[in-house]
Structure 1
């Protein structure tokens, strides 16, 4: 097998895996939203965390009250720099009524960033893989 064919297959395979992960996370988000309850929450603090590159980001910690009156505190897993929220800010929260600790901030970015990023990367890698395979089959690459 030629190196070009291997390269095309590897890029195509990585693109397929990334696209499959994007679909998985998108379907998981849609499923969550289909059963989630809505509540109003309040950002109580922003937590700064360092990453391995020496940078970092701010993640909101927020509270909300469930339909049954239970107060829940959640540390969000999305971070940004600069901070996306301010302490005391009122936010819209979606939570699982069976497990209220499974909550997400109801903003497009927080819900769909991961599937969108993975889908984009899947298209890029898959597109490169297909282009390399086609160019190789047509004799443009040795």
Structure 2
């Protein structure tokens, strides 16, 4: 995991973060692996086009068609800081360390996901068009 010092500065423009956090596109195959891996937490709340994954969540929107509903810029901001869209959301801000409350000791001053992981997930979600 990255440390707070490793957080890459980014600019929110409108309803998204248009520039990649890493300066390059992510790896969609690695992004899919992260989404369906329970340790990244996506699949705990979201369901999607993952026929071989049991016990998908139903607390959040289905990820099927995510790439048609949101641009890469919008997806990136949702992953980085979902609270910008809904301050009461239960979705974690995966790439934010400031202003958070009730953060577990192991996660203090650390983002949940690295910039590379955010970009990989964005790359994968952008492929989900149906």
TM-score, shorter chain, exceeding 0.5: no
What interval of TM-score do these two structures reach, taking the shorter chain for normalisation?
A: under 0.3
TM-score under structure 1 length normalisation: 0.25
1 or 2, which has the higher strand percentage? 1
TM-score by length of 2: 0.27
More helix by share: 1
